Amino acid sequence: MSAIYFVPDPELLLYDRPLPYNLFINSSSVQAREHFIRILPRGEILTLEDFEAMKHKYQQIYLSEEERGEYLKGACQDQGKTENEKVTILKSTAISHLESLFDTKRDLSVDVVNQTLVGCRQTVEGFVYLVKDYDLAKLHELIGNLSFHDYYTYDHSINVSMYCILIHKLIYPNASEIESVNAGMGGFLHDIGKIRISNRILNKVGKLSDEEFAEIKRHPEMGKIFLSQQGVQAPKGTEIGIIRNIVYQHHENYDGTGYPDKVGGEKIHEMARIAAVADFFDAITTKRAYSEALTVEEALHVMRKTVGKKLDPKIFELFYRHMTTRYNEKVCMLDIAPDFDPCQPHIKLKREKHD
């Protein structure tokens, strides 16, 4: 497998301290025949003046994709950056990985998939580090302060990943880092099957037709198939089986009315039941170009109506109790359609009729 290199943001490099990664240059001017040479080894100290001199001499400096995790950790541990800046760093990197997977013009060989999954894992590890001292309410506020990307699927995947990490932590307060990473990876990739769905359907602003929604409903199976390709490997420390279960089952309903297999209760993997709560909450509390977001108070009221039907009662109860330490459920005139689905956001929340 040939190594992949990327151009780092100069503002995110670590200066005046030992580097936790290597710096490279490309010594070949022939496109597609790059030859990367290390010019500064890990452990050496880089000054801003050094970097400017390197840029002047070599034009472009690179890092190995294998060391992206150390690059991200270094940027997020920089005490001079705000929480918003740190999340933005991780979010921009996460979007680049999702764009790579959703790029229909690119040949997604198994090698490319595996290298991208490694990058996804490193980014999720950054999420775990960043939100370790957060609660769900603080995370929701942080997400609300971030700028939106043009493609909702990317923002949603990032948000669900972080929510999955924190909901899993509610259930297992002493969870190991790798268990949190598995939860975050499942959330991050839960909609990966949508790479097989037409952009015309994914980006449609109006309500999906029955035929279009039937196509959307294929994405859990498509995601499982994508991650089951021969040669696709779990990034170091993660479990591809858990990630596949989350991808495949996150639209199964607790009462057995979901899809693709209409299984219910404990037959749905616990991580997938966690992802279902995260997916639902983000879908109705995140503003979209064509839909206003519900407040947290309204969302709690609406979600509680689906407990035991769509959502796992025990997982939701933990989520609900945690959220109501900050927010009080608002009894509002909103009712959710029986067939509501986070992937069919155009099914509007209907007003309850009162005599």
Check pLDDT > 70 for residue 346. Answer: no
- Distance from C-alpha of 302 to C-alpha of 221, rounded to nearest angstrom: 28
Burial-class residue 202 by CB neighbours within 10 Å (0-12, 13-18, 19+): buried
The pLDDT tens digits of the residues spanning 185-198 come to: 999 999 999 998 98
Question: What are the chain's domains?
Answer: 1-67 (no CATH), 82-295 (1.10.3210.10)
Give me the pLDDT at residue 320, please: 94
pLDDT of 224-277, one tens digit each? Answer: 999 999 999 888 889 999 999 999 999 999 999 999 999 999 999 999 999 999
pLDDT tier for residue 32 given thresholds of 50, 70 and 90: low
The pLDDT confidence band at residue 147, using thresholds 50, 70 and 90, is low
Q: What's the pLDDT tens digit per position in 291-341?
A: 678 889 888 988 998 999 999 999 999 999 999 888 777 766 666 766 778
> Tokens 């009080």 belong to which residue?
328
The model carries a pTM of 0.83
Please give the radius of gyration of the chain, using alpha carbons only, rounded to the nearest integer: 21
Confidence band for 105, pLDDT divided at 50, 70 and 90: low
Identify the bridge partners of residue 350 per DSSP, sorted by sequence position.
335
353, pLDDT greater than 50: no
CA distances from residue 213 to 39, 50, 210, 217, 250 in whole angstroms, order as listed:
52, 55, 5, 6, 16
Q: What is the mean pLDDT of the chain?
A: 86
Amino acid at 35: H
HSE on the CB side for 144, CA within 13 Å? 13
pLDDT for res 208: 82
Average pLDDT (214-219) is 94
Report residue 305: phi and psi, to 5°.
Answer: -65, -20
Q: How high is the pLDDT of residue 348?
A: 54
- Residue 279 CA to residue 284 CA, distance in Å, equals 9
pLDDT band at 354 (very low <50, low <70, confident <90, very high): very low
**pLDDT, tens digit (0-9, with 9 covering 90-100), for 49-76:** 999 999 889 889 999 888 887 887 787 7
